[in-house]
Amino acid sequence: MGKLGVSVYPERSTYDKDAAYLELAAKYGFKRVFTSLLEIKGNKDEVVAGFKKVIDKANELGMEVMVDINPALFEQLGVTYDNLKFFKDLGAWGVRLDLGFTGAEEAKMTRNPYGIKIEVNMSQGTHYIDNIMAFSPNRENLLGSHNFYPHQFSGLGQAFFEQATALFTQYNLNTAAFINSHNATFGPWPTQDGLCSLESHRDLPIATQVKHYVLMDTINDLIIGNAYASEAELKAARDAFVADYPVVRVVPAADITPLEHEVLFDNDHNYRGDRSEYILRSTQTRVKYADRDFPAHNTVDIQRGDVLIDNVGFGQYKGETQIALKAMPNSGRVNVVGKIHPEELFLLDYLKPWSGFRLADASKD
């Protein structure tokens, strides 16, 4: 099981606000903390002391702090890649290299005597990680994480994301990516339109972002990039992350019957393995409700994402639950009882045959 994380930016907030946020995140089981030391303006000792105070608080809460650093800052901080004592003294769990070296240095850093984790940038799409692996790093201390993108429309596309991630997962390295709070107002820079790794996530609810990553099954840790997420968002992210099954939101049809509502929302569903291009079938409901009546209604033509229950006209299939994967005509034997919420329609591409899932009534959000 991976970990959830939050981000704090001590230079752009106050200790009290950061500490309260960390306490709230810890309450919901968040373990990782991301912070950014990309530049130091003003008194170096004061800035570092401010970071250390926040890091100490996180450590008290049993959290793990990853410090994002630009190698150009190494000289200013008096740090060399073969002496990471500064980060040990700071209380950091790990160091994220915003920009890397040649591979040999990163490998050597993973063998530091303090056990400090070295996290490298996954969003380059180059064979940088192969260079590091060629120098026999300590894999236990080597992690990867994608960038986040504060500029609207600058985030990663899905195909590139998958390609870049595969370069890391082939080595079974721990992976991380950033998700986006809509309550948060700031990140490490003055301007941000959210701080997510995937551009498609920028305007989605936080739980939907989490569900997508869980279904992709290539990213271990998810970190909220901007500060501060609301308590409701922290809970929603946690619930989606630890759910036994993915939960897809459905907008019920206006004339859905109480029985149909029960069939959809009070049952675990399973994607039948001998799959059709047209429908995702959850067949157990027709067994469970074999003796119940499903009269025909709302037998309109079917669109992708429609949620369906076969009516009495379909004989032995009566009561079977389906989700339309393609548009198709309705023979009059299928009740259209809802639609996958537009924000989660894309998740249909990630549900796998033989996998379990649940449906949630989006009208109760």
| pLDDT tens per residue across span 2-61 | 999 999 999 999 999 999 999 999 999 999 999 998 778 878 888 899 999 999 999 999
What per-residue confidence (pLDDT) applies to 43?
A: 84
pLDDT at residue 223 tops 80? yes
Greater pLDDT, 30 or 76: 30
Burial of 170 (0-12, 13-18, 19+ CB in 10 A): exposed
Dihedral sign from CA coordinates of 256, 257, 260, 266: positive
What per-residue confidence (pLDDT) applies to 32?
A: 98
What per-residue confidence (pLDDT) applies to 150?
A: 97
Q: Tell how strand 142-145 and strand 306-310 pair up.
A: unpaired
Mean pLDDT value across residues 215-220: 98
Does residue 146 contact residue 176 with C-beta atoms inside 8 Å?
yes
Q: How confident is the model at residue 345 (pLDDT cuts 50, 70, 90)?
A: very high
In whole angstroms, what is the distance from residue 236 CA to residue 360 CA? Answer: 13
In whole angstroms, what is the distance from residue 135 CA to residue 103 CA? Answer: 7
What per-residue confidence (pLDDT) applies to 260?
A: 98
Give the residue among 266, 228, 185, 300 at the shortest CA–CA distance from 19: 228
C-beta contacts of 274-280 below 8 A and 24+ residues apart: 274/353, 275/353, 276/325, 277/325, 277/326, 278/324, 278/325, 278/326, 278/328, 279/308, 279/322, 279/323, 279/324, 279/325, 280/322, 280/323, 280/325, 280/348, 280/351
In whole angstroms, what is the distance from residue 159 CA to residue 127 CA? Answer: 17
| Domains present along the chain, CATH in parentheses | 4-243 (3.20.20.70), 248-364 (2.40.100.10)
In whole angstroms, what is the distance from residue 28 CA to residue 129 CA? Answer: 33
pLDDT at residue 105 tops 90? yes
Greater pLDDT, 55 or 79: 55
In whole angstroms, what is the distance from residue 299 CA to residue 196 CA? Answer: 40
Dihedral sign from CA coordinates of 127, 131, 136, 141: negative
What per-residue confidence (pLDDT) applies to 95?
A: 96
In this structure, what token pair is assigned to residue 147?
């960038």
